[in-house]
Amino acid sequence: MNPTSVLAGLLVVAFAALGSAKLAAVPAMRTRAEHVGFGVSAYRRIGALEVLTVVGLLVGAFVPVIGALAAAGLLMLLGGAFVVHLRNGDGVREIAPAVVLGLVNLTFLLLVVGDLR
């Protein structure tokens, strides 16, 4: 198993869980949506994007350029999450998941793009 596969697996597990929870509008996600000033429908759309990213990462195992595009989209989504948390005045505890997953995603993206050359 190579590092790219391990990172893809981490991203798939994390965003399958997070995206599904947002789509299902579980109480914890409703609270988070309210905390950052989003409605439940907006948070569900974010969850749908996260689940689509999971699909893209899985397809990327066979078509690497699709995985790279999915990771690029996810990087933008995580950048948006980071900005929203900063604007909201959140602390390290709230911002850390977006930063850590963003760094994992960036590393994955760089590895995939490097392999495409």
Q: What is the pLDDT of residues 4-15, one digit of tens each?
A: 999 999 999 999
Supply the pLDDT for residue 70: 98
For residue 16, pLDDT beyond 90: yes
For residue 116, pLDDT beyond 90: no
Q: What is the tens place of the pLDDT at every residue in 55-109?
A: 999 999 999 999 999 999 999 999 999 999 999 999 999 999 999 999 999 999 9
Asked if 108 and 71 count as a contact pair (C-beta separation under 8 A), the reply is yes
Q: Which residues make Cβ contacts (< 8 Å) with residue 76, sequence separation at least 6?
A: none
Supply the pLDDT for residue 1: 82
Supply the pLDDT for residue 110: 97
Tell me, yes or no, if the pTM score tops 0.85: yes
Supply the pLDDT for residue 111: 96
Supply the pLDDT for residue 56: 98
Supply the pLDDT for residue 41: 95
For residue 117, pLDDT beyond 90: no
CA distances from 54 to 7, 39, 86 (A): 12, 23, 26
